[in-house]
A and B are shown apart, each in its own frame.
Chain A
């Protein structure tokens, strides 16, 4: 299984490098005050979370899945490797966000605020992946792509429509909470990626079931 995780890392390396340069560029801009640092830490998570989805496209281009299933691993391990790679990406995103936050903290700004923003985005990204990974196994990366936009934009559109209809989402309690304790907000936001990680289990089982029924 580790061999397949290695494979995902190797084929994603070039994309990850270009993402790294983009992130660095935005971080410099953020450091110079052009962007909010909270935006940058959230941006890191969004970019890196795309890597597991790209891995499906690379595999499809190489027709890798049929070969992977012919190896002495079993289909479940093939799926497990992709989920393990996803978890690694999440950890890397978190590490990068922590590093940025620490750097910003050294300049006298809040450490927890940009990190909280990263946790929120990571949590959302994980929910997206929990839905998208089984869809990629079922439909392939190209046919699953519209669902990615749906998963991201449907909640945004729903919020917008609700706002236009006068249904205001009152988040002032978050500000009040942040004023009382930044740590409490951080802990609350940390629940998002944690629940996203917990939901990986049913998502993994669903992906296994889909791959079990697939013929190559």
Chain B
């Protein structure tokens, strides 16, 4: 299995924010979900990958090519969908094809039309008349029509209704059926990532604080609900984060099976990505 994206020691500093030593790997045949709060560094990471901003340090390889020194080769087999539709309102979907066909040597006009048909997008209608969902579907059609091996998506499903989101997620699952393909997607909608992602990377304040396979995370991590007195009886090393409320305490553990064995009187239940994100982002360290 080869890696479609390799990021090593990525650093990027702004006045009020820094991305610190980000390491990420996206193996082919898989989907990596990037989660994190607003301003955590997800979009900056994607912008560094696409060379939209200059990195201060580190290395980024896309499909085996350095993303700066071999930018053109690196991006040739990459499809990009960002959080907005960048096509001018006055254009029509058929115009998008005219614009992008000379850009991508592998542009497939038939495939683009097939996607338009699949997503019920009228070729003759101007983009300004499209809904947000239609615009995102158009962006996705444009990103897929040159047979990319790698899709990079930044909040591509944000603001879409569940039906459109489901349709787009199914398309991602279809895309990933080819073992050479891979998807990097950032999203706030952790339930979407629970559906489709193989790996999860959680970026918090510019650092990757959690990166593992989704199954490992959901199988191993656990949420413990207990009283303040029970919390006192747990060794701090056995807890990752704690949240204390008026009616009780909650804690995040990294291995709920081991926790259950050690503390048979306490219940460590399966948790969600959203809960893990909340614990790691807002919980107290033990």
A contacts, CB < 8 Å to B? 1-4, 6-7, 10-11, 13-14, 58-59, 61-64, 66-67, 69-74, 215-216
A105, B75: Cα distance in complex, Å: 54
* Interface stretch (choices B30-38, B99-107, B190-198, B259-267): B99-107
What does DSSP make chain B's interface, helix, strand, loop or mixed? loop
List chain A residues, Cβ under 8 A from B47.
215-216
Q: Kindly identify which residue among B90, B101, B103 contacts A71, using a CB–CB cutoff of 8 Å.
A: B103
* B50 pairs with A61, CB closer than 8 A: no
* Interface stretch (choices B81-89, B159-167, B248-256, B278-286): B81-89
Whether B125 is near chain A, meaning CB under 8 Å from some CB there, is no
Q: Kindly identify which residue among B51, B86, B98, B102 contacts A67, using a CB–CB cutoff of 8 Å.
A: B86
* A10 pairs with B91, CB closer than 8 A: yes
Q: Kindly identify which residue among B52, B84, B104 contacts A72, using a CB–CB cutoff of 8 Å.
A: B104
* A66 pairs with B98, CB closer than 8 A: no
* B82 pairs with A215, CB closer than 8 A: no
The proximity string for B residues 48-64 relative to A, scoring 1 for CB distances below 8 Å and 0 otherwise, is 00111110000000000
Q: Kindly identify which residue among A7, A63, A71 contacts B84, using a CB–CB cutoff of 8 Å.
A: A63
List chain B residues, Cβ under 8 A from A13.
90
With A66-B82, A67-B82, A215-B53 in contact, is A3–B89 under 8 Å at CB?
A: no
* B50 pairs with A11, CB closer than 8 A: no
> Which residues of chain B from 17 to 73 have a CB within 8 Å of any chain A CB?
47, 50-54, 71-73
* A3 pairs with B102, CB closer than 8 A: yes
List chain B residues, Cβ under 8 A from A74.
71-72
* B103 pairs with A10, CB closer than 8 A: no
* B91 pairs with A73, CB closer than 8 A: no
Q: Kindly identify which residue among B51, B76, B99 contacts A10, using a CB–CB cutoff of 8 Å.
A: B99
Whether B219 is near chain A, meaning CB under 8 Å from some CB there, is no
List chain B residues, Cβ under 8 A from A58.
88, 90
A5, B73: Cα distance in complex, Å: 22
List chain A residues, Cβ under 8 A from B50.
69-70
A71, B78: Cα distance in complex, Å: 9
The 10 closest A-B pairs by CB, nearest first: A67-B86, A72-B75, A3-B102, A216-B52, A215-B53, A7-B99, A3-B103, A2-B102, A62-B88, A70-B50
What does DSSP make chain A's interface, helix, strand, loop or mixed? helix
The residue of chain B having its C-beta at the shortest distance from the C-beta of A65 within the complex is B86
A69, B90: Cα distance in complex, Å: 21
A216, B90: Cα distance in complex, Å: 23
The residue of chain B having its C-beta at the shortest distance from the C-beta of A55 within the complex is B88
Q: Kindly identify which residue among A3, A61, A72 contacts B88, using a CB–CB cutoff of 8 Å.
A: A61
With A66-B52, A215-B52 in contact, is A73–B103 under 8 Å at CB?
A: yes
Whether B238 is near chain A, meaning CB under 8 Å from some CB there, is no
Whether B95 is near chain A, meaning CB under 8 Å from some CB there, is yes
Whether B80 is near chain A, meaning CB under 8 Å from some CB there, is yes
With A67-B82, A74-B71, A74-B72 in contact, is A62–B102 under 8 Å at CB?
A: no
* A1 pairs with B102, CB closer than 8 A: yes
The residue of chain A having its C-beta at the shortest distance from the C-beta of B127 within the complex is A62
List chain A residues, Cβ under 8 A from B95.
7, 10
A201, B71: Cα distance in complex, Å: 24
A-B contact pairs, 12 of them (CB 8 A): A3-B98, A10-B99, A67-B82, A67-B86, A70-B50, A70-B52, A71-B100, A72-B74, A72-B104, A73-B72, A74-B72, A215-B52
